């Protein structure tokens, strides 16, 4: 087989490629430096700036609130759509699936641009109402929730639902207590995907956001064009914080998964 050495080299190389910049930034965020290459001394002033500047704080809170809110709406819509489409006639189902594919394969720029044209230019809805922004993000995320739930629906055992109905449950109760729990992992992974997409998005936000609102992406892109070095280094701190949070989250998920495995054994 491919020798062990080669395997590990590939893994390590790609790992380095992916993480070196983030780790370097993490190291430099704890120093006094304003550019990579010259360490002046250990300092946590970047983190202080990050957590005390009201601008940065409101920006982070706004981004997270938007992501969670849009992901919630997208999950509800996408799940309903997946269930509905799965049980519909072939024609309706394929229509929904085709329409659903469009934002998935489309570029963010085009999605954002088209939502902006429709809502702001043609319908004249003001960006200050946050409607274009939320609508844009939901449009971006809901199709992915749809795609995440459908496989679980296909894997589901249909006879349990029938059995529940036969035992006297109303269709609605059966839906809530039988179908949803079975597809729940799909819903959860769709939600996670929706949050990821919303947090990472730049283009839809640029075209639809109100002027005084900033998400992390729009803020960073504008800040890196500017000259303020304190903000630049505070952003290094931000990236390190997010990185640590993500590591923590994955570690927690992994420990839970291991516990389940061990329980199953």
Partner 1 sequence: MRIEIFNRYRSIAALCICGFLVLTCPVTADAAKSGGREVEKEVTLRVCNWEEYIDLGDWDEEETIELDSGDIIGENTMIEDFTQWYYETYGIRVRVEYSTFGTNEDLYNMLTLGDTYDLVCPSEYMIMKLMTEDQLVPLSEGFFDDSDQNNYYSNGVSPYIREIFEKNEIGGRPWGDYAAGYMWGITGIVYNPGLVSEEDASSWKILNDPDYKRQVTIKDNVRDSYFAAVGAIKSELLNSEEFKDDPDYQKRLEEEMNDTSRETIAGAQEYLQDVKNNAYSFETDSGKADMVTGKVAANLQWSGDAVYTMDQADEDDFPLAFAVPSESTNIYFDGWVMLKNGIGEDAAKQHAAEAFINFNSRPDNVIRNMYYVGYTSVISGGEDMRIFEYADWCYGAEEDEEEVSEYDLGYFFSEGGEEEYVITAPSDQVYRQLFAQYPTQEAISRSSIMVCFDEDQTREINQMWINVRCCNIYDIPVWVWVFAGASVCVLAVFGIRKLRR
Partner 2 sequence: MHRRTFSRKYLGIPYAVFLLLFIVAPLVVLIYYAFTNGQGEFTVQNLTGFFSDPNTLGTLCYSFGIAMVTTAVCLLLAYPLAFILATSKLKGKSVIVLIFIMPMWINFSLRITALKEILTWLEGNLAYHPFLNTVLGMSYDFLPFMILPIYTTISKLDGALLEAARDLGAGELQAFLRVTLPLSLPGIMSGVSMVFLPAMTNYVVLDMLYNSTYIMGSLIGSYFAAYNWNGGSMIALILLGIICLFTLLTGGAEEENTRGGALL
Residue numbers 24-83 binding partner 2 by CB under 8 A: 24-25, 28, 35-37, 77-78, 80-83
Looking at beta carbons only, is 100 or 206 nearer to partner 1? 206
The residue (of 5 and 227) whose beta carbon lies closer to partner 1 is 227
Q: Residue 80 is encoded by which pair of tokens?
A: 């309903």
Find the shortest distance in angstroms from Cβ 184 to partner 1.
Answer: 5
202 in Cβ contact with 108 (< 8 Å): yes
Q: Which of residues 176-195 bind partner 2 (CB under 8 A)?
A: 179, 185-186, 188-190, 192-193
Instruction: Provide, rounded to whole angstroms, the least separation between the CB of residue 17 and partner 1.
Output: 25
Does residue number 239 form part of the binding site for partner 2 (CB under 8 A)? yes
- Please work out the total of residues on this chain that contact partner 2, with binding judged by CB under 8 A: 102
Q: Which parts of the chain fold into alpha helices (H)? A: 4-29, 45-52, 54-86, 90-105, 108-116, 131-155, 158-166, 171-174, 180-200, 203-208, 216-225, 229-264
Q: Which does 30 bind (CB under 5 to 8 A by kind): partner 1, partner 2, none?
A: none
DSSP string, 208-223: H--TT---HHHHHHHH
Within 10 angstroms of residue 102's Cβ, the number of other Cβ atoms is 13
- Residue 97 has φ and ψ, to the nearest 5°, of -65, -40
Site for partner 2 in 90-119 (CB under 8 A): 92, 95-97, 99-110, 113-118
- Binding residues (CB under 8 A) for partner 1: these are 35, 61, 64-65, 68-69, 72, 116, 120-121, 124, 126-128, 180-182, 184-185, 188, 191, 210-212, 222, 224-229
- Interface with partner 2, residue 204, by CB under 8 A: no
Q: ∠ CA(100), CA(105), CA(108), 5° rounding?
A: 105
How near is the Cβ of 213 to partner 2 at its closest, in Å?
16
The Cα 149–Cα 79 span in angstroms is 6
| CA of residue 21 relative to chain centroid, distance | 22
Q: DSSP readout, 179-199?
A: IHHHHHHHHHHHHHHHHHHHH
Q: Which of 31, 46, 75, 139 binds partner 2 (CB under 8 A)?
A: 139
Tell me: does residue 164 bind partner 2 (CB under 8 A): no
Position among 16, 20, 61, 163 found at the interface with partner 2 (CB under 8 A):
20
Confirm or reject binding of residue 252 to partner 2 (CB under 8 A): no
247 binds, among partner 1, partner 2, none (CB under 5 to 8 A by kind): partner 2
Residues 171 and 186: their CA atoms lie apart, in Å, by 21
């Amino acid at each position: 087989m491919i020798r062990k050495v080669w395997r590990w080299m590939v893994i390590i190389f790609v790992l380095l490629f992916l993480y070196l910049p983030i780790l370097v930034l993490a190291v430099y965020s704890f120093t006094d430096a304003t550019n990579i290459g010259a360490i002046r001394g250990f300092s946590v002033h970047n983190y202080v700036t990050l957590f005390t500047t009201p601008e940065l704080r409101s920006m982070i809170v706004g981004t997270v609130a938007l992501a969670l809110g849009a992901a919630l709406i997208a999950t509800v819509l996408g799940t309903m759509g997946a269930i509905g489409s799965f049980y519909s006639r072939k024609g309706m189902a394929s229509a929904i699936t085709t329409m659903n594919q469009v934002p998935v394969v489309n570029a963010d720029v085009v999605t954002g641009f088209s939502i902006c044209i429709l809502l702001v230019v043609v319908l004249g809805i003001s960006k200050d109402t946050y409607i274009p922004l939320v609508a844009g993000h939901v449009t971006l995320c809901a199709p992915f929730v749809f795609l995440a739930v459908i496989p679980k629906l296909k894997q589901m055992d249909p006879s349990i639902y029938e059995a529940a109905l036969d035992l006297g449950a109303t269709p609605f109760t059966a839906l809530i207590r039988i179908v949803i729990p079975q597809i729940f992992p799909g819903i959860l992974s769709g939600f996670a995907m929706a949050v990821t997409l919303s947090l990472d998005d730049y283009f839809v936000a640029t075209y639809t956001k109100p002027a005084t609102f900033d998400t992390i992406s729009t803020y960073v892109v504008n800040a890196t064009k500017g000259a303020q070095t304190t903000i630049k280094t505070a952003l290094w701190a931000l990236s390190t914080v997010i990185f640590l949070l993500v590591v923590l989250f994955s570690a927690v998920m992994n420990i839970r998964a291991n516990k389940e495995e061990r329980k199953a054994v």
